[in-house]
Chains A and B, each alone.
Chain A
Amino acid sequence: MALDRNQIAQRVAQEMKDGYYVNLGIGIPTLVANYIPQGMQVMLQSENGLLGMGEFPTEDKVDPDLINAGKQTVTAVTGAAYFSSAESFAMIRGGHVDLTVLGAFEVDQEGNIASWMIPGKLVKGMGGAMDLVAGAQNIIVTMTHANKRGESKILKKCTLPLTGVNCIKTVVTELAVMEIRDGAFHLLERAPGVSVEEIRDKTDGKLVIPDSVPEMQFM
């Protein structure tokens, strides 16, 4: 069975380490915060100027001056800090954030990522994504393996305008966990019940398949 959005987030959360500063993008990455293992301390960085993002507020604690990068009302945890956008991106560009999780339209086997515009159709803007992919040491992309028409988004070469070049190392989709290195996607894990053949069929880029591909483990 292909993973749902929450299960993708759950799998990504397994990459967290105690003491990590983490930036989570909009969409599936945001859900990762719900699955941080018990007893592990992780500080979430929100690029609009908050280190130590907490959960959504209760109705009586809603504060228009306290939002996340997705413009959602949030809270701040004990030990949080507020700062300007320049300071925020000094943290990001300066490589101080341990892990970044973000979404994408396409990735390719060279580690390139496209996530901010579809020419003539859709312009979201890159927001902080270009800075995040240029600055983070450790980036995980969460995305669906193929589009609604079944066309692969795991490509030899991205077709859309790029967000960053040679920067993506790990991709988690509803079907697989893959590592990008040496110009290929290396299949590390498959979703429970998903065959290697299905992953191969939905991957356009070069896919290296080891002899044994374990299923993802969920607690």
Chain B
Amino acid sequence: MSGFNKVVTTYDEALAGLQDDMTVMVGGFGLCGIPEGLIKAVYDKGTKGLTCISNNAGVDGFGLGIWLEKRQIKTMIGSYVGENELFEKLFLSGEMEVILTPQGTLAEKIRAGGAGIPAFFTATGFGTKVAEGKETRQFDGRDYVLEPALTADYSLVKAWKADTMGNLIFRKTARNFNPMMAAAGKITIAEVEEIVQPGELDPDQIHTPGIYVQRVIKGKFEKRIEQRTVRSA
């Protein structure tokens, strides 16, 4: 790495400095748009006691599901357990702390974290378990809940294309939480399908400006599909 060249070639370099008990954000919605290689590398590294912020926790045997298998996550902050059996089991048994957060509130908490906003009011969750113990306030006769922002020691994101300066472009619905997480991480590592030279990406088309990204690594993606639904031609 030198100057604005953020490209690293090994996962060891990419994850340098990651330690037990840190907070890590991981992009993706289900298995769509997840940094597959970085997730696997953290698994191999065996980092433990993590606070993991991600909408979902993968599936059994893939994505963040492998962190669950190795019990690397102490606290999981996400919006959906879904059909992940191990996740549900660890949650119900109390083995892993789980902070379920409404998806839009989660996205905004991360956005706020990256944007330097410490907290915000939202109507989402008012009158439910989510609002328990939180400050509430009325604006124009409607009740709102104060939600603190989220930041992370490391953000692991997945993009389609990057240039060597860390400017990122996402593809279709693989964008999801990745842009906000890129901004909310002290160290953001982008795992991408293709790395190009500066100037090859149209500045008008960049979704995440390189200022938010510290390291870029070219990954290999299996892109597993959770629900393959098709119609006949």
Binding site for B on A (CB under 8 A): 46-50, 55-60, 62-74, 76, 82-86, 88-89, 92-93, 112, 116, 120, 122-131, 134-135, 161-166
Contacts and interface: CB of A to CB of B under 8 A. Distances in A.
B229 A84 contact: no
A71 B130 CA distance: 25
Contact of B127 (A66, A74, A76, A162): A162
B42 interface: no
A81 to B, nearest CB: 11
A48 B92 contact: no
B129 interface: yes
Contact of A128 (B102, B123, B231): B102
22 contacts: A48-B30, A49-B29, A58-B231, A64-B174, A65-B160, A67-B30, A67-B173, A70-B227, A73-B229, A82-B173, A85-B103, A86-B108, A89-B108, A93-B108, A123-B92, A131-B104, A131-B105, A134-B123, A161-B128, A162-B129, A165-B126, A165-B127
Interface in B152-198: 160, 171-180
A167 B31 CA distance: 32
Contacts of A88: 104, 107
Contact of B126 (A65, A120, A134): A134
A84 B110 CA distance: 12
A55 B175 CA distance: 20
B108 A57 contact: no
Residue in A60, A62, A116 with the greatest tally of chain B CB atoms within 10 Å: A116
Contacts of B175: 49, 82-84
Given A85-B55, A126-B102, A128-B103, 18 more contacts: A48-B32, A56-B230, A58-B230, A58-B233, A62-B230, A64-B225, A67-B226, A72-B229, A73-B225, A74-B229, A86-B108, A89-B108, A92-B104, A93-B108, A120-B92, A128-B104, A135-B104, A162-B128
B178 A84 contact: yes
Contacts of B178: 84
A123 B172 CA distance: 29
A192 B233 CA distance: 35
Contacts of A128: 79, 102-104
A130 B32 contact: no
Interface stretch (B17-25, B80-88, B210-218): B80-88
B136 interface: no
A65 B29 contact: no
A53 to B, nearest CB: 10
Nearest to A133: B124
Chain A interface helix/strand/loop/mixed: loop
B99 to A, nearest CB: 11
A105 B6 CA distance: 49
Contacts of B177: 84-85
B45 interface: no
Contacts of B228: 62, 73
B231 A56 contact: yes
Interface string B134-151: 000000000000000000
Contact of A66 (B55, B126, B172, B224): B172
Contacts of A50: 172-173
B173 A93 contact: no
B179 A84 contact: yes
Nearest to B112: A86
Contacts of B172: 50, 63, 65-66, 76, 82
Given A93-B123, A124-B82, A59 B230 contact: yes
